């Protein structure tokens, strides 16, 4: 939901966009006429016309008249009763959202109409081949590409999920409306459907009334996968494959996946006490359950499609084996049916008194025996005997009182006799003899000969195993014990791929390749991409929490206090323990809840392993010991779990990824990686367990809040160079993980531009990057846009690998960057951290304090309870300034830096840097985009109405800084006006301004009233709706 990160903003035809806006606007006005009446509709229209007229005059340079109209507009809004203000806010918010939907639809439509888009596979493959890259090198580089997009639950998605779905439905209806082949009657029905959807949107509460839980956030992320990425991935891979075949003569291998997906939703516990080990376990199991459920649906469709009986001999034998196995199972089931007949013969023909009572009531009056399966039942269905023997303890038929709490052990832990009883009842209910005949009505009759439909037989067996796998996961989600059996269920994607690939090979060899390359190929590609978990869950925790856990352990062992040791002593201790073979943490240790939570998280990591989980990310990493501490806790827990279960932990150890966030830590990143790789144990561990691959994460948000956007960008660039050099020195491959936010103030920007401006050698076919909050929906919420974004990721990484961007041409450029950065950082820090009035000004001039009412995320806005900027998270910091149209975090300090070097006579040099150095060009271009969204007049209104008179001078000073930044950005780019080279984006922004300006005026008025009456819930609702509306208009939150 943003312009600044939109890689396809230039792909716009404004005529069709404006037509859609008019259609939706007209239908919305009709809805409002019915909902609020014609009298209030006239007021809404008057406000809109005033705002539009003021904007037109300002764009024409007639400032005085524009100011008069804006004052009149402000005056009319200030006189509005609360109910009317609330309705106006809702109307303008929905108008801005509908414009956003029209924009989304237009992009979808454009992607279909254009034969060859810029930055598409065809476009970039052509460029690379023309530049001298051989077709074989191109093919191998694409096949080896490893990109992972990590979806996060950062609290920047302002819209409720309910409204997001409705918006997608409206976009789909617009897409249908753009077709030329629909008749008059169908078009009338379509308009009626649009009216229904818009009416439903208006009658839906825009506000979340309670904070989402981490599991809620994870479900929302998984829903994006189910509704969009699940459909998009096969189309994207087919597009890559077709382009490869066109330009190299070879398609993409069927199991090759240039892009995969990860997630932080349910795993990111940094500063969020709501994300616990239990939550992580539940989310991981839920993700696996959803993957299996989606595969079951696909296999069902595939069974219907593959009715052919032509197959290879090998495949025919496989189908015969399956039929044979099923036949032997049916024979064993006949023994079960005789047991049922015996039970049926003793059932009463007439119900007695109190028969309605539950069987657990022991009143002694019943004349008939109760049917029950207790923990010592003599009968267990034959197909479950093996599993029951493994899972259930051997007990006497008459347990004494001391035995009632005896626990039976399973692979997942222990359970009481009551749980065992429930478990056995559930197993019985799931067995064949416990099924009702309803399921048989849904299934076709079983095939008796493999030659009749061999693919249906094999896929039927696949489905059966998938269903059993799903049941197993449901038991685990319910907290019931169970044991994985590879003969009847799947645990790895390789197990699922095996029969699917056999189907594919059989179809190809028997002349049915056209069938093989359809739905079956899509399913194989989905399994290769999503695996058994849809998205692998990363775990993230702050380094200080690991130090606290080691403090508790070393104190318990009388070794002293770990956190008080110097770095060398820490490393000596950690390396010694890592080389040892005994567990460090005694099972009898008692720790405080915070430490227990850390240890429990490592237990989940050990139980699930790298098959389900991705990386373990250490936030605020600053030393080599931070990484080794996690390696030790991980190793120790795996030893304990292995000993407890009597078998190795599943999968391998998780990758441990240091996250360097602050400017200080970024500057030390190369040193830390060199120190780590110089340790023999660690280097051997990386080579043996992680294929010689070191992953390092760099954070954009906190570095920007720390020293300003320009300094952060330069320090990130240098840190990446240093980390790459460090890994090259030790012969270790590097994957850089970019923690980019959605907004430019937190490192956001067009994906293509960002990747193309990385340091040379930092993108060598591998990349990880976060997509946060509202960006997940904006980029991947609709299959058509998701396909385009995935393609852009692929082509940008490919180009950066084979044709890396140019480094600074000469050392002088680096020196100039250092000087700009130094001046910029000093200016930024002098304002934000050293001016004693700034914090008070920030709280008065922005709705920062009120953002907490939004309920848009599960985590607190601050890492620690403090009113300072230091502990405020980057998202509310950027969010608040975006609301007031100051967008200060993205540009503060930049103007001072550019002015400083220009006045020293280096203006020509920085113009050359802009033309020839991709990194510098992209940095300046992103700042230009932000400046185009800033509005000095609106920021002044906030100051005049909300800020104490003695602090308004600070606002005036900041506005002068804003104008200075704009002046020098235009000098460097050689343009006369902002966004002169991106007229599509400029026009998009201007089209929203009439509504957006009025929303800002309304927000100022509501804030003024709310601060005098803080407990007024209707005022609070009105404010939150204006926040939603401005976010929709700015196409940015935090």
Q: What is the pLDDT of residues 411-420, one digit of tens each?
A: 333 334 455 5
Q: Which of 105, 106, 110, 154 is catalytic?
A: 154
Of the listed ranges 337-351, 787-801, 850-864, the one predicted with least confidence: 337-351
110 has pLDDT over 70? no
What's the pLDDT score for residue 704?
Answer: 82
Confirm if 708 and 923 have CB atoms less than 8 A apart. no
Distances (CA, A) of 123 to 143, 471, 944: 18, 47, 52
Element (H, E) at 802: helix 783-802
pLDDT digit string (tens) for 481-529? 777 777 788 989 999 999 999 999 999 999 999 999 999 999 999 999 9
Lowest mean pLDDT among 2-11, 110-119, 619-628, 787-796: 2-11
Distances in Å between the alpha carbon of 366 and those of 344, 347, 351? 18, 13, 10
List the single range of 732-736, 742-746, 955-959 with lowest mean pLDDT: 742-746
Highest mean pLDDT, choosing among 221-230, 349-358, 431-440: 221-230
Which position has the token pair 């915070």?
A: 594
Least Cα distance to 255 among 531, 508, 532 occurs for 531
List, for residues 1007-1027, the tens digit of each pLDDT value. 999 999 888 889 988 998 998
- Taking only the tens place, the pLDDT of each residue in 444-471 is 665 555 457 899 999 999 999 999 999 9
CA distance linking residue 91 with residue 947, whole number of Å: 28
pTM assigned to the model: 0.85
Classify strands 536-542 and 413-415 as parallel, antiparallel or unpaired.
unpaired
Of 786, 783, 717, 720, residue with least CA distance to 751: 786
Are 696 and 655 within 8 A, CB to CB? Answer: no
Can 864 be counted among the known catalytic residues? no
Contact call for residues 768 and 262 (beta carbons, < 8 A): yes
The active-site residue out of 106, 166, 463, 705 is: 705
The residue ranking higher by pLDDT, 457 or 750, is 457
d(CA 684, CA 564): 29
Stronger pLDDT, 179 or 234, i.e. the higher one: 234
β-strands 613-619, 536-542 pairing:
parallel
C-beta of residue 1030 within 8 angstroms of C-beta of residue 997: no
Count CB neighbours of 645 within 10 A: 16
Helix (H) or strand (E) holding 43: helix 38-59
Query: Tokens 């460029």, residue?
Result: 127
Helix (H, G, I), strand (E, B) or coil at 538: strand
Q: What is the mean pLDDT of residues 53-66?
A: 92
Cα 311 → chain centroid: 42
pLDDT at 7: 47
746: exposed, middle or buried (C-beta count within 10 Å: 0-12, 13-18, 19+)? buried
Report the C-alpha gap between 334 and 338 in whole angstroms: 7
Rounded Cα distance between 958 and 627, Å, is 41
Q: How far apart are CA 203 and CA 837, in angstroms?
A: 43
Of the pLDDT bands very low, low, confident and very high (cuts 50, 70, 90), residue 772 is confident
Active site residue 260: no
pLDDT of residue 850: 83
* C-alpha span between 41 and 31 (Å, rounded): 10
CB neighbour burial string for 363-387, b if at least 16 within 10 angstroms, e if fewer: eeebeeeeeebebbeeebbbbbeeb
Q: Please state, as a whole number, how many other Cβ atoms lie within 10 Å of the Cβ of residue 507.
A: 25
Separation CA 429–CA 409 (nearest Å): 22
DSSP state of 211: P
HSE, CB side, 13 Å, CA atoms: give it for residue 97. Answer: 26
d(CA 232, CA 236): 6
**Could you tell me if 782 and 228 are in contact, meaning their C-beta atoms sit under 8 angstroms apart?**
yes
Angle between helices 313-345 and 454-477 (to 10 degrees): 50
Strand partners, 657: 617
pLDDT of residue 684: 96
Assess whether pLDDT exceeds 90 at residue 668: yes
Average confidence score pLDDT of the chain: 84
Task: Tell me which of 25-34, 101-110, 235-244, 560-569 is least confident.
Answer: 101-110
> Parallel, antiparallel, or unpaired for β 766-772 and 693-699?
unpaired
Query: C-alpha 333: how far from its chain's center?
Result: 46
Tokens of 323: 């039929």
**Residue 851 to residues 549, 629, 875, 999: CA-CA distances in angstroms?**
34, 37, 11, 16
Is residue 434 over pLDDT 70? Answer: no
Q: What is the pLDDT of residue 326?
A: 81
Q: How far apart are CA 672 and CA 658, in angstroms?
A: 9
Task: Count Cβ atoms below 10 Å from residue 912 Cβ, excluding itself.
Answer: 17
CA-CA-CA-CA dihedral for 561, 563, 567, 568, to nearest 10: 10
What is the rounded end-to-end Cα distance, in angstroms, of the chain?
11
Q: What is the pLDDT of residues 184-193, one digit of tens each?
A: 899 999 999 9
Number of Cβ within 10 Å of residue 618's Cβ equals 25
Q: Copy the structure tokens of residue 901.
A: 């070097």
Overall size of the chain counted in residues: 1038
């Amino acid at each position: 939901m943003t312009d600044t990160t939109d890689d396809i903003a230039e792909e716009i035809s404004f005529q069709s966009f404006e037509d859609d806006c008019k259609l939706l606007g007209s239908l919305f006005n009709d809805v409002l006429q019915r909902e609020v009446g014609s009298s209030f509709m006239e007021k809404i229209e008057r406000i809109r016309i005033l705002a539009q007229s003021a904007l037109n005059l300002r764009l024409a340079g007639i400032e005085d008249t524009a100011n008069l109209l804006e004052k009149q507009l402000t005056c009319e809004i200030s006189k509005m009763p609360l109910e009317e203000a609330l309705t106006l806010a809702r109307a303008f918010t929905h108008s801005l959202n509908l414009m956003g939907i029209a924009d989304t639809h237009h992009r979808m439509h454009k992607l279909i109409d254009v034969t060859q888009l810029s930055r598409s596979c065809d476009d970039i493959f052509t460029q690379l081949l023309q530049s001298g890259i051989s077709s074989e090198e191109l093919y191998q580089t694409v096949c080896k590409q490893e990109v992972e997009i990590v979806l996060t639950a950062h609290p920047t998605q302002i819209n409720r999920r309910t409204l997001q779905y409705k918006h997608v439905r409206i976009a789909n209806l617009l897409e249908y409306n753009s077709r030329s082949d629909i008749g008059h009657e169908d078009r009338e029905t379509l308009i009626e459907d649009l009216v229904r959807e818009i009416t439903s949107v208006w009658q839906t509460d825009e506000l979340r009334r309670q904070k989402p839980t981490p599991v809620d956030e994870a479900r929302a992320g998984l829903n994006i996968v189910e509704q969009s990425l699940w459909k998009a991935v096969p189309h994207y891979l087919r597009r890559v494959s077709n382009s490869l075949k066109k330009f190299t003569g070879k398609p993409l291998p069927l199991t090759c996946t240039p892009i995969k997906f990860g997630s932080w939703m349910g795993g990111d516990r940094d500063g969020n006490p709501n994300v616990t080990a239990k939550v992580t376990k539940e989310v991981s199991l839920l993700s696996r359950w959803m993957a299996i459920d989606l595969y079951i649906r696909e296999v069902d469709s595939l069974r219907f499609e593959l009715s052919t009986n032509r197959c290879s001999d090998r495949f025919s034998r496989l189908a015969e084996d399956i039929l044979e196995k099923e036949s032997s199972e049916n024979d064993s089931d006949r023994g079960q049916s005789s047991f049922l007949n015996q039970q049926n013969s003793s059932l009463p023909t007439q119900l007695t008194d109190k028969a309605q009572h539950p069987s657990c009531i022991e009143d002694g009056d019943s004349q008939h025996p109760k049917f029950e399966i207790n923990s010592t039942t003599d009968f267990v269905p034959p197909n479950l005997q093996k599993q029951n023997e493994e899972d259930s303890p051997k007990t006497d038929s008459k347990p004494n009182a001391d035995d009632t709490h005896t626990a039976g052990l399973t692979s997942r832990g222990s359970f009481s006799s009551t749980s065992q009883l429930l478990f056995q009842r559930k197993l019985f209910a799931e067995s064949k003899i416990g099924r009702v005949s309803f399921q048989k009505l849904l299934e076709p009759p079983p095939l008796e000969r493999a030659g009749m439909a061999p693919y249906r037989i094999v896929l039927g067996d696949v489905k059966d195993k998938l269903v059993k796998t799903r049941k197993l996961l449901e038991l685990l989600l319910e907290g019931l014990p169970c044991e994985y059996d590879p003969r009847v269920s799947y645990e790895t994607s390789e197990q699922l791929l095996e029969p699917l690939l056999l189907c594919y090979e059989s179809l190809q060899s028997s002349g049915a390749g056209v069938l093989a390359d359809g739905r079956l190929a899509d399913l194989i590609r989905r399994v290769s991409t999503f695996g058994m978990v849809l998205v692998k869950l990363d775990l993230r925790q702050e380094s200080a929490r690991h130090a606290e856990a080691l403090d508790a352990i070393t104190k318990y062992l009388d070794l002293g206090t770990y956190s008080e040791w110097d770095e060398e002593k820490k490393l000596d201790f950690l390396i010694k323990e890592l080389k040892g073979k005994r567990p460090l943490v005694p099972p009898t240790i008692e720790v405080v809840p915070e430490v227990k939570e850390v240890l429990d998280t490592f237990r989940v990591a050990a139980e699930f392993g790298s098959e389900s989980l991705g990386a373990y990310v250490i936030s605020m990493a600053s030393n080599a010991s931070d990484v080794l501490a996690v390696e030790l806790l991980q190793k120790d827990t795996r030893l304990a779990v292995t000993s407890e279960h009597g078998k190795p932990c599943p999968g391998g150890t998780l990758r441990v990824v240091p996250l360097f966030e602050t400017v200080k830590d970024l500057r030390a990143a190369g040193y830390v990686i060199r120190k780590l790789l110089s340790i023999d144990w660690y280097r051997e561990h990386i080579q043996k367990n992680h294929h010689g691959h070191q992953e390092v994460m760099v954070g954009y948000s906190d570095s920007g809040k720390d020293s300003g956007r320009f300094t952060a960008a330069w320090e990130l660039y240098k840190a990446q160079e240093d980390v790459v050099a460090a890994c090259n020195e030790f012969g270790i491959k590097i994957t850089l993980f970019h923690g980019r936010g959605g907004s430019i103030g937190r490192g956001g920007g067009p994906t293509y531009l960002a990747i193309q401006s990385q340091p040379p050698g930092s993108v060598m076919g591998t990349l990880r990057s976060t997509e946060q909050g509202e960006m997940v929906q904006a980029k991947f919420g609709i299959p058509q846009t998701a396909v385009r974004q995935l393609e852009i990721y692929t082509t940008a990484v490919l180009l950066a690998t084979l044709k890396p961007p140019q480094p600074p041409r000469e050392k002088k450029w680096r020196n100039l960057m250092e000087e700009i950065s130094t001046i910029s950082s000093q200016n930024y820090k002098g304002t934000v951290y050293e001016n004693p009035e700034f914090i008070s000004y920030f709280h008065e001039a922005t709705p920062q304090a009120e953002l907490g009412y939004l309920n848009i995320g599960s985590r607190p806005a601050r890492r620690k309870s403090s009113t300072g900027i230091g502990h405020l998270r980057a998202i509310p910091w950027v969010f608040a300034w975006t609301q007031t149209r100051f967008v200060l975090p993205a540009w503060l300090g930049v103007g001072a830096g550019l002015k400083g070097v220009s006045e020293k006579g280096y203006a020509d040099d920085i113009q050359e840097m802009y033309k020839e150095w991709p990194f510098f060009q992209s940095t300046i271009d992103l700042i230009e985009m932000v400046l185009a969204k800033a509005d000095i007049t609106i920021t002044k209104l906030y100051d005049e109405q909300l800020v104490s008179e003695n602090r308004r001078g600070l606002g005036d000073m900041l506005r002068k800084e804003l104008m200075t930044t704009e002046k020098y950005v235009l000098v460097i780019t050689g343009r006369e006006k902002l966004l002169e080279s991106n007229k599509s984006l400029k026009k998009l922004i201007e089209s929203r301004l009439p509504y957006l300006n009025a929303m800002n005026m309304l927000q100022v008025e509501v804030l003024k009233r709310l601060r005098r009456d803080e407990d007024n819930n209707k005022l609070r609702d009105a404010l939150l709706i204006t926040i939603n509306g401005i976010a929709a208009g700015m196409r940015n939150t935090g």
